[in-house]
Amino acid sequence: MRIRMIAICGVVSLGVLSVSAQSVQSPSEQSVSLTQAAVALDGRGTPALEGTLRTTSLDGAPDTPVTNIRLVIKNVGPLPYGYVSGLVTFYDGSGIRCGEGIFKADELLASESVEVDTPGIRIRCAPTSWRIVATNLLARLSPGLTGVETARPSNLVISVDGEEHPIQLDRPMVLNLGERQRTIIVRQKP
């Protein structure tokens, strides 16, 4: 009986933690009013996409939801993208989520805008705020493309027979292998 009570208390506390974790919004993903542009961030926390609503009639209800909207997505980052997708979320006056959909676009150059729709969305309220979140930002790779930023790996370590050595890109590392010293340089492929 005691084990059953402990298991029930554990499940209830995990449920409470799960619900509280879902209701917390990070400062980078704050919702904005419907007339403002919503910003989606990339993996480094810098603005990548900016969205503005084209559809103005968003008054949905549980029995008659709004099932499609139009929005303009602008690439505000420095990189051209071969594919972008994300979520658009709507909130009522109490901050409760009442609609969520997916947007996507192919080939979005830096400073370029594209009008997209959100098929399958179901807005079940009269929203007062919204936000967008980028789920996929695939950089366009093409020959001759210069100035493309790539993430540099950090915290790299090489392990030789259990002995660990930190690796710094483009910096020589001298290892003792047997009775000989070896110099190793790790570089990014151009």
- Residue with the bigger pLDDT between 189 and 17: it is 189
Q: Domains for the chain: give ranges and CATH numbers.
A: 26-139 (2.60.40), 152-190 (no CATH)
Closest CA to 69 of 115, 25, 129: 115
Instruction: Output the CA torsion sign for 22, 67, 127, 54.
Output: positive
DSSP 3-state of 28: helix
Here the tokens at position 117 are 């729709």
Confidence band, pLDDT 50/70/90 cuts, at residue 124? very high
The answer to whether residue 86 scores a pLDDT higher than 90 is yes
Mean pLDDT of the chain: 80
What is the tens place of the pLDDT at every residue in 34-60? 999 999 999 888 999 999 999 988 999
What is the tens place of the pLDDT at every residue in 146-184? 544 555 555 677 777 777 777 777 777 777 777 888 887
What is the tens place of the pLDDT at every residue in 94-106? 999 999 999 999 9
Cα–Cα distance measured from residue 67 to residue 159, given in angstroms and rounded to the nearest whole number: 55
